[in-house]
């Protein structure tokens, strides 16, 4: 789960990481109130989960109440790459002497945590990595040992941060690592991390991605979940416990297992079709889950055909077959359904469906045959 | 021969008294796997369908001589269960649990490396391992596998592992061992571990490798194959059409920026001399050709 900048900053604050004083605002009047409280000049920042806000006019400096009104009014409702701005973050503007970069993420190939620190912040780290890789000090951290202050001190020296910033940054990095680990982040990134003319170091931006697998030990994440804007199809699927991702094609996909679902998308594409979604009904799905899956796909007006691709493992094919019949009873499925059923109890499953097969409910013996049939319907 | 597990492997099930653990543990026993015990704290002295249950892994190992463990416990207990297995004397741990926090996985992996270097972890979030006709640990349906070799299978995805077994078995091509390494960000066992074991196994003549988007394990495997593998490898990588920035079910299956795409993985594998196929059926057919020509 990606956090908005303001949520990331609030999350950082819990771990003692310094951020600029500020608050959120959903209206022009709230923006004014925050600005009056924190003091001018302020920065009015659009809260959207997409990069390039500044270029799109979503970040503006305001020196007085009139400018706050003007910018807040312009930015609220602004469409930034398909993300409409509903919320602003207003913070006290900082004077900047230097911009640094700091982040922690998992280094998957090495199974260690990776810290990245650079004296060249403020630009995308990918660009720095490309053009001047020596400007990034990489630190591999053993998750068992963690990051201590001594190591952080050597690290800030390696990164050649300004002398006056080093001790403060080392302390901040230890806190950021704590936020990253104790806070169960997939990514904790500060860009830019700034040094002010009066030699203070603090986070001017916050990019945080949380590991949803750790939700069970973070009840406080509920507030972040509440602000997640979702595709209505994805929301409906989530409520039914399905793993669904909306796409733009016309072939609705239902499969069991993420790998098979991805593979189904690929095969549909290979035979000339395009998938309307990724939907993994998971392991051990019963008739009810299958029926819900069909209902979710049926609610997508783009879908012209539904391809059900099941290889029973824990999932039993007879349950899938019952689910299909159950769904047909519950709702009118407008599109034809093409099924490929193999694996655990496939014979029983096919037998359950046999009396009900017709021109809109079809089985095919293999994944490829079924994909071809489904795409023929979609492109008809 | 087979890799990692065979007909002599004695297995305990951590979580045998739970729903999943019982269902799959008993299925594995029915397949012929030597399931010699279960572990559930507080339930020692009881049994599940005749399989004795112990309070701790240590007790179970002392009483049964087990060397492998099947971990089927909820995500919040999984890290402790894996460490308990290693500390209790287990050498091969299969963890099927889905949804373990990435930080827990990273700590477990490094603790195993540092404290128990002789222990192998398979998974988490994997279907397990089957050496057909000998031993099945995990959730794979035994009837889709065919004993006798000569193909080894290694896969990051559960259902695609079944699909691969099915494609081969249907054509009468058997398997030595089929390993599902799982789709999580920090797998205990990776492609290279399995490829090296298959390369060293005299009965395995060819290997099918099923990858998916995300991470760089396929690229690393390609590099290893290029320099070390003498046996033919057929590969399929799922997720050619997956959009960037969205997790496709598995925690590890995500394309970030230009990294982790199926195309990059397929290119690397092809460059290493691997037969790269565009769907599982094609991969099965290619493997049939290769085996027939052996």
Domains of chain A: 21-92 (3.30.1490.20), 98-225 (3.30.470.20), 232-378 (3.40.50.261)
| Assigned CATH topology for domain B10-122 | Rossmann fold (3.40.50)
A217-to-A28, A213, B76 alpha-carbon distances in Å: 37, 9, 9
Q: Which residues of B touch A318 (CB under 8 A)?
A: none
Alpha-carbon distance A355 to nearest alpha carbon in chain B (angstroms): 27
Report the DSSP beta bridge partners of residue A105: A114, A187
Q: Given this model, what pLDDT does residue A226 score?
A: 78
Tokens of A275: 């998938």
Q: Is residue A262 less than 8 Å (CB to CB) from chain B?
A: yes
Q: What is the CA radius of gyration of chain B?
A: 18
Interface contact flag, B183 A261, Cβ < 8 Å: no
pLDDT(A121) > 80: yes
CA neighbours within 13 Å on the CB side: how many for B288? 15
Nearest CA in chain B to A314: B139
Q: Confirm or reject contact between A366 and chain B (CB < 8 A).
A: yes
How far apart are the CA of B143 and the nearest CA of chain A, in angstroms?
9
Nearest CA in chain B to A267: B279
Contacts with B192 from chain A: Cβ below 8 Å? none
Q: Is the per-residue pLDDT at A208 higher than 90? A: yes
> Which residues of chain A lie closer than 8 angstroms to B111, CB-CB?
144
Q: Which of B241, B263, B268 to mutate to test the interface with A (most CBs of A within 10 A)?
A: B241
For chain B, residues classed under CATH 3.40.50.720 are 10-122
Residue of A101, A177, A180, A244 with catalytic role: A101
pLDDT band at A344 (very low <50, low <70, confident <90, very high): confident
Q: Which residue has the higher pLDDT, A132 or A146?
A: A146
C-beta atoms of B242 and A257 within 8 A: no
* Cβ within 8 Å of residue B62, ≥6 positions away: none
Between A and B, how many residue pairs show a Cβ–Cβ distance under 8 A? Answer: 163
Report pLDDT for A190: 96
B186 shares contact with chain A (CB less than 8 Å):
yes
Chain A interface includes B102 (CB < 8 A): yes
Of residues B260 and A364, the one with the higher pLDDT is A364
Interface contact A178, partner B, CB < 8 A: no
- Is domain B140-292 in CATH 3.40.50.10490, yes or no? no
Chain B residues lying within 8 Å of A313, measured CB to CB:
127, 139-141, 158-159, 162
Across A334-348, average pLDDT: 91
Nearest to A126 among B76, B158, B257 (CB): B257
B185 touches chain A (CB under 8 A): yes
Q: Are residues B257 and B205 in contact, defined by beta-carbon separation less than 8 angstroms?
A: no
Percent of chain A at pLDDT > 90 equals 72
In sequence order, what are the beta bridge partners of A43?
A61, A91
Q: What is the pLDDT of residue A331?
A: 82
Catalytic residue check, A244:
no
| Residue ranges of chain B whose pLDDT lies below 70 | 249-252, 255-258
Contact flag A108-B186 (C-beta cutoff 8 Å): yes
CB contact A260 to B (< 8 Å): yes
Instruction: Sort out which chain B residues have CB atoms less than 8 A from A111's CB and list them.
Output: 106, 109-110, 186
Measured between beta carbons, the chain A residues lying within 8 angstroms of B217 are: 108-109
> Is the Cβ–Cβ distance between A290 and A325 less than 8 Å?
no
SS3 B212: strand
- Partners of residue A247 in chain B, C-beta under 8 Å: 243
Chain region(s) in chain B for CATH 3.40.50.261: 140-292
CB contact under 8 A, B76 and A368: no
| Distance between CA atoms of residues B96 and B93, nearest Å | 10
pLDDT band, very low/low/confident/very high, at A27 (cuts 50, 70, 90): very high
Q: What are phi and psi for residue A367, nearest 5 degrees?
A: -60, -45
- The partner residue sitting opposite B158, judged by closest CB among A144, A243, A257, is A257
Of B111, B166, B257, which is closest to A342 when you measure between CB atoms? B166
What per-residue confidence (pLDDT) applies to B109?
97
ipTM of the complex: 0.90
Please, which pLDDT band fits residue A164 given cuts at 50, 70 and 90? very high
Q: Find chain B residues with C-beta within 8 A of A266's C-beta.
A: 238-241, 262, 278-279
Does A332 or B73 have the greater pLDDT score?
Answer: B73
The predicted-structure confidence for A298-325, as pLDDT tens digits, reads as follows 989 999 999 999 998 778 899 889 988 9
Beta carbons of A147 and A181 less than 8 angstroms apart: no
Considering only CB atoms, which chain B residues are within 8 Å of A344? 141
Residue A229 has pLDDT above 70, yes or no: no
The catalytically annotated residue of B24, B166, B227, B250 is B250
Dihedral sign computed on CA atoms, order B193, B199, B204, B205: positive
* Number of other CB atoms surrounding residue A131 within 10 Å: 10
- Per-residue model confidence (pLDDT) at position A99: 96
Q: Is B170 on the interface with A (CB under 8 A)?
A: no
Mean pLDDT, chain A, whole residue set: 92
Q: List beta partners, residue A138.
A: A116
Token couple for B31:
């397949």
Residue A227 has what pLDDT?
79
On whether any CB of chain A is under 8 Å from the CB of B103, the answer is yes
Within 8 A of B110 by CB-CB distance, chain A residues are 111-112, 142-144
Per DSSP, helices labelled H in A227-312 are 232-239, 258-270, 287-298
Taking a C-beta distance cutoff of 8 angstroms, is the pair B144, B167 a contact?
A: no
**Residues of A (185-214) whose Cβ lies below 8 Å from B:** 186, 211, 213-214
A286 has a chain B CB within 8 A of its CB: no
Our CA angle for A315, A319, A322, nearest 5°, is 150
Is B76 in Cβ contact with A142 (below 8 Å)?
A: no
How is residue B23 written in tokens? 């269902």
Which residue of chain A has the CA closest to B166?
A: A343
In chain A, % helix, strand, coil (3-state, to 5) comes to 40, 25, 35
Best residue of B83, B103, B190 to probe chain A, by most A CBs closer than 10 Å: B103
Q: Which of B179, B182, B184 is nearest to B105 (CA)?
A: B184
Residue A51 has pLDDT above 90, yes or no: no
Which pLDDT does position B267 carry in this prediction? 96
pLDDT tens for residues A60-89?
A: 999 999 999 999 999 999 999 888 999 999
* Candidates B73, B115, B126, B159, partner chain A, best to mutate (most A CBs within 10 A): B159
CB contact under 8 A, B281 and A278: no
């Amino acid at each position: 789960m990606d956090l908005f900048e303001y949520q990331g900053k609030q999350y950082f604050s819990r771990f003692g990481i310094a951020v600029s004083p500020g608050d959120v605002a959903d209206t022009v009047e709230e923006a004014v109130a925050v600005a009056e409280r924190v003091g001018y000049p302020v920065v009015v920042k659009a809260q959207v989960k997409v990069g390039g806000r500044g270029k799109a006019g979503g970040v503006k400096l305001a020196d007085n109440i009139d400018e706050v009104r003007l910018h807040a009014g312009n930015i609220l409702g602004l469409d930034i790459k398909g993300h409409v701005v509903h919320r602003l973050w207003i913070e006290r503007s900082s004077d900047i002497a230097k911009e640094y970069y700091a982040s922690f993420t998992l280094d998957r190939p090495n199974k260690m945590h990776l810290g990245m620190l650079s004296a060249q912040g403020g630009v995308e780290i990918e660009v720095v990595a490309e053009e001047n890789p020596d400007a990034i000090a990489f630190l591999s951290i053993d998750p068992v040992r963690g990051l201590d202050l001594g190591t952080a001190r050597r690290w800030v020296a390696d990164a050649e941060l300004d002398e006056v910033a080093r001790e403060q940054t080392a302390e901040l990095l230890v806190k950021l690592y704590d936020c990253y680990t104790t806070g169960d982040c997939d990514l904790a990134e500060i860009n830019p991390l700034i040094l002010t003319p009066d030699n203070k170091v603090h986070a001017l931006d916050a990019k945080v991605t949380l590991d949803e697998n750790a939700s069970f030990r973070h009840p406080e994440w509920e507030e972040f979940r509440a602000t997640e804007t979702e595709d209505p199809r994805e929301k409906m699927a989530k409520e039914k416990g399905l793993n669904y991702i909306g796409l733009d094609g016309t072939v609705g996909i239902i499969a069991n297992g993420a790998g098979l679902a991805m593979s189904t998308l690929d095969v549909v594409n290979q035979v000339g079709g395009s998938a309307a979604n990724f939907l993994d009904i998971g392991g051990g799905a019963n008739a009810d889950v299958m029926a819900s899956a069909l209902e979710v796909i049926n609610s997508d007006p783009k879908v012209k055909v539904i391809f059900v691709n099941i290889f029973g493992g824990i999932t039993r094919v007879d349950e899938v077959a019952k689910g299909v019949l159950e769904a047909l009873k519950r709702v009118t499925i407008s599109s034809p359904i093409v099924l490929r059923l193999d694996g655990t109890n496939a014979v029983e499953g096919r037998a359950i469906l046999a009396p009900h097969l017709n021109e809109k409910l079809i089985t095919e013996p293999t994944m490829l045959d079924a994909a071809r049939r489904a795409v023929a319907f979609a492109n008809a | 021969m087979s890799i990692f597990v065979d007909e002599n492997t004695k297995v305990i099930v951590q979580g045998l008294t739970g729903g999943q653990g019982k269902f799959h543990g008993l299925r594995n026993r029915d397949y012929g796997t030597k399931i010699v015990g279960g572990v559930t704290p507080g339930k020692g002295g009881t049994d599940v369908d005749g399989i004795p249950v112990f309070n701790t892994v240590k007790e179970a190992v002392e009483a049964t001589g087990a060397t492998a463990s099947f971990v089927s416990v909820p995500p919040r207990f999984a890290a402790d269960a894996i460490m308990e297995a290693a500390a209790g004397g287990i050498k091969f741990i299969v963890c099927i649990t889905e949804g373990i926090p990435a930080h827990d996985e990273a700590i477990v992996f490094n603790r195993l490396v540092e404290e128990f270097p002789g222990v192998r972890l398979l998974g988490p979030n994997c279907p397990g391992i089957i050496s057909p006709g000998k031993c099945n640990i995990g959730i794979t349906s035994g009837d889709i596998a065919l004993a006798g070799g000569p193909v080894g299978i290694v896969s990051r995805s559960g259902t695609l592992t079944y699909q691969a077994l099915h494609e081969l078995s249907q054509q009468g091509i058997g398997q030595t061992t089929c390993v599902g390494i799982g789709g999580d960000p920090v797998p205990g066992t990776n492609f290279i571990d399995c490829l090296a074991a298959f390369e060293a196994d005299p009965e395995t003549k060819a290997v099918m490798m099923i990858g998916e988007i995300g991470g760089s394990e396929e690229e690393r495997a390609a590099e290893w194959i290029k320099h070390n593998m003498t046996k033919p490898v057929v590969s399929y990588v799922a997720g050619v059409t997956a959009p960037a920035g969205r997790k496709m079910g598995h925690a590890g299956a995500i394309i970030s920026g230009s990294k982790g795409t199926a195309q990059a993985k397929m290119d690397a594998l092809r460059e290493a001399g691997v037969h790269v196929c565009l769907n599982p059926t094609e991969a099965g057919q290619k493997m049939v050709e290769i085996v027939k020509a052996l």
